[in-house]
Structure 1
């Protein structure tokens, strides 16, 4: 058996020590690169979030000015033709604003920026303001908007801990769909109530309905059952996917019952979430979240 001299052993130890040092240096360089990459990713996410916020304001503010001014103009003029044109401007600007807001919300959800802000919410105010937003669209189609409440307090309010803005986005998309797919002379009704500390909301319409085989698909992003260049209904297929994503975020559920040519019922269930007692309550303020920038100026 060959023996190793002390000098050979020391040389081998030096070699392995140098290898360990080089490995540590390589690990240190790699770690530095990972830290730098993470910093750039965080910076990119921050820039993307700021961009979304800025572009949303840059687009929404002038659109809301157009909506407000068109509505005001329609109430001032006595000429039927001018009033009709002002009404068309209002309707088209409202539709564009609504669709763009959905696109921005979808982008926020994709980026992970749509975090819930839980507070004590007056659900009645959310419902009333949402229906007010769609009154002009519903009136143009001859559709009646109504709501029914169960379990209100002495002041006629339904208080529930959730995210007020996200709740209004959910309700707005459901009402928008109900109005879009309802026929002239029909009714869209919102029912809301508290049962066993849970908030239950239903949006009912008497519209074209949905076939059973399509009920699961309607919550997929960009899915539209009415497709092609000759489709009869507007939209980009984001609304119900946003509803589902926001309810998942709020740990809520949604179910749908529908029959072709009879109508649809979308049922939302929300469970109470913990909230800060000092948070501002969404109550009589009304239309605070959608189409509100004009009022803030």
Structure 2
């Protein structure tokens, strides 16, 4: 059982981070004179960012390698059990090949995952570093520049926080440690709240958010409201990001046998057929340059899929080039 080492590593990293922050705070806000306020803030943010990166990166690495090692062990046990029903001669050859396939798959997944994590963390880190080094080289003396650069550096820190928070959410979902608080909620009113919160973002690109029809009566479902709201925000926000300027994002609710179907449709470029099977993978982006310019951690759809699976629900996607994409997910209705 490897859960105790994971928790111990996480606790050690957390304590180290807290001690690191305390020392940095004392240095920049107690020892350095207060008249050098902007230098204090700049130095503190830089130290915080670098320390944050190495501690969290190490924590994620520890969790990842432990999980893949456990998965590898389970796969080998499963392969061994299956092999018992075949002749001994074939069993030996098959077992060797199965072990080799598992090792290759594990190694490829490890390389891809760690490469993606490293890249996603380094991008905002280098952004923060660039602005802070410019300030340290003398730009901090220019009042018109320093506030702007500090704000941009803080945006980079926010992006780091977003990536780590999303990775933490996925880790909890995969480990089954995220407790869902399922209650009766009106999905119509929840969608209205989400659409209202994203209205300003849509208006910036002249995009219209609308329901496909009027829903005068409430439609009750059994959900964890916070998590399903997160699903709706991710899907509608993506529909805004990848829509055409002046397009429409249409939200619909349908009843299908014993399920409620929620649909989010955009009028964007669509997703090529060859990319559809991979869009729920971590960090997978169809148009990498455009996706990063739009912001986000690259983990939104992965989180959506895991949240719905935790509810024992499903999500599907249909897309047509130049016409748009429709995401559909199921929910369980409250029957009484």
**Does residue 44 of structure 1 match 2:105?**
no
Runs of 5+ unmatched residues, structure 2:
19-147
**Which fold has the larger relative contact order, with Cα–Cα distance below 8 Å and residues 6 or more apart in sequence?**
1
Kindly state the Cα deviation for residue 98 of structure 1 after the two structures are TM-superposed.
9.9
Indicate the residue corresponding to 1:138 in structure 2: 202
2:285–2:291 Cα contact (<8 Å) kept: no
Kindly state the Cα deviation for residue 195 of structure 1 after the two structures are TM-superposed.
3.4
Q: 1:98 to 1:204 in 2, by over 3 A?
A: farther
* In 1, Cα distance between equivalents of 2:254 and 2:160: 30
1:167-196 deviations in Å (ceiling 9; x for gaps): 111111111110000111100011113333
**Does residue 225 of structure 1 match 2:286?**
yes
* In 1, Cα distance between equivalents of 2:161 and 2:191: 17
Kindly state the Cα deviation for residue 104 of structure 1 after the two structures are TM-superposed.
4.2
* In 1, Cα distance between equivalents of 2:10 and 2:283: 26
- Of residues 214, 220, 232, the one that matches 1:171 is 232
**Does residue 105 of structure 1 match 2:169?**
yes
Indicate the residue corresponding to 1:202 in structure 2: 263
2:166–2:297 Cα contact (<8 Å) kept: no
Q: 1:229 to 1:203 in 2, by over 3 A?
A: closer
**Does residue 269 of structure 1 match 2:336?**
no
Runs of 5+ unmatched residues, structure 1:
1-33, 55-84, 278-297
Kindly state the Cα deviation for residue 235 of structure 1 after the two structures are TM-superposed.
2.9
RMSD of aligned C-alpha atoms? Answer: 3.8
1:122–1:159 Cα contact (<8 Å) kept: yes
Aligned residues: 199
1:173–1:243 Cα contact (<8 Å) kept: yes
Kindly state the Cα deviation for residue 272 of structure 1 after the two structures are TM-superposed.
4.7
Indicate the residue corresponding to 1:256 in structure 2: 317
**Does residue 119 of structure 1 match 2:119?**
no
Kindly state the Cα deviation for residue 146 of structure 1 after the two structures are TM-superposed.
0.7
Indicate the residue corresponding to 2:73 in structure 1: none
Kindly state the Cα deviation for residue 127 of structure 1 after the two structures are TM-superposed.
0.3
Q: What TM-score, normalized by structure 2, do the two folds share? A: 0.50
Q: 1:262 to 1:99 in 2, by over 3 A?
A: farther
More helix by share: 2
